[in-house]
Amino acid sequence: MTEKEITPKEEAKEEKKLEQEIVKEIDAEEKREEKAEEKKEAKKEEPKKEERIAIAYIFSSSNNTMVHITDMAGNTLSRITGGMVTKHSRLKADPTIAMFVAKRAAERARDLGITSLYIRTKAKTGSPGIGPGAHAAVKTLGKEGFRIINILDTTSVPRGGPKKKGGKRGRRV
C-alpha cells in the first residue's frame, strides 16, 4: 500500500475549508447568543401586571349579609347586601345568598382592575360571633380570583357602656 502524498496546494485548500467551517460555526454560535439576549431583553420589557389592592368589608349578622368593597383611600367601588339579591327577607343571612352577594360585588371590583383584597369581617356589637354568611362570602371572594392578603375580625367589643334597660331585679328594701 502506498500512501498518497498530499501536495502543498491540496493542503492549503483543506486548511481553507477547515477555516471556513470554523468561521461558520462561530457565526452560528454568535447568532444563537444574540437570539438569547433578545429573548432576555423582551422578557425585561414586558411590564409586570400592576397589582391593585382594595379592602372588602363584610358585615354579617343573623338577619343580613353586606359586602362593601372600597379602594385603599376609602372610595366605594361596590356595595351589595342580601336584600339586593333575594326577595325573601328570611334568607338574607343565608350562606348561599352571601355567596351570591360576594360574587356580584367581586364582578364590579374585577371590572375596575382590583387584583388583591384585605378582608375585614364584622358582626353586631356584643354578639357571640359573626353571622352565618361571613365565611361563605370570604370563601367566594377567594374563589373569584382575588389574592387575599389579610383577614381581620373588626367586631367591636362592649366594655361596660351605658346602663341596660330595665330596673334591678330582686327584693327592694
Domain ranges (residues) in the chain:
53-153
CA angle 108–113–117, rounded 5-degree value: 80
Fold exhibited by the domain 53-153: Nucleotidyltransferase; domain 5 (3.30.420)
The residues facing 120 across adjacent strands are 57, 152
**Given a cut of 90, is residue 114 above it in pLDDT?**
yes
Closest listed residue to residue 63, CA positions, set 11, 132, 149: 132
Per the model's pLDDT, the better-predicted residue between 39 and 108 turns out to be 108
For cell 411590564, name the residue: 47
pLDDT for 4-26, tens place per residue? 677 777 878 888 888 888 888 88
Query: CA-CA distance, 111 to 131, in Å (whole number)?
Result: 28
